[in-house]
């Protein structure tokens, strides 16, 4: 076999740094709860859904859903 003739260590299959699994959430947030808290803070400052989506690099619908979830967690309704 060819492998018997080769000398030295085997070359790694990938030279890219590997991570285990996907990130827990987007951006600098480790969890969705941290994200919701940050969104709720921005909403209190008067930020729009579009601005929140742009700053946090999420889609508009994700930002809107986060605002709705944050308000529901605080016991408010739209």
What is the mean pLDDT of the segment spanning 71-76? 80
C-alpha 71/C-alpha 8 separation (Å) is: 61
C-alpha 61/C-alpha 76 separation (Å) is: 19
Give tens-digit pLDDT for 28-71.
Answer: 888 888 999 999 999 999 999 999 999 999 999 999 999 999 88
What's the start-to-end Cα distance of the chain, in Å? 70
Domain parsing of the chain, residue ranges: 30-78
Question: Are the CB atoms for 30 and 24 separated by under 8 Å?
Answer: yes
Model pTM above 0.85: no
pLDDT-based confidence at residue 27 (cuts at 50, 70, 90):
confident
pLDDT-based confidence at residue 78 (cuts at 50, 70, 90):
very low
């Amino acid at each position: 076999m060819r492998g018997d003739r080769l000398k030295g260590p085997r070359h790694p299959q990938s030279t890219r740094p590997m991570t285990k699994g996907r990130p827990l959430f987007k951006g600098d947030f480790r969890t969705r709860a941290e994200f919701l808290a940050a969104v709720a803070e921005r909403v209190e400052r008067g930020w729009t859904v579009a601005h929140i989506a742009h700053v946090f690099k999420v889609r508009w619908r994700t930002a809107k859903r986060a605002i709705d979830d944050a308000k529901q967690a605080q016991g408010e309704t739209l």
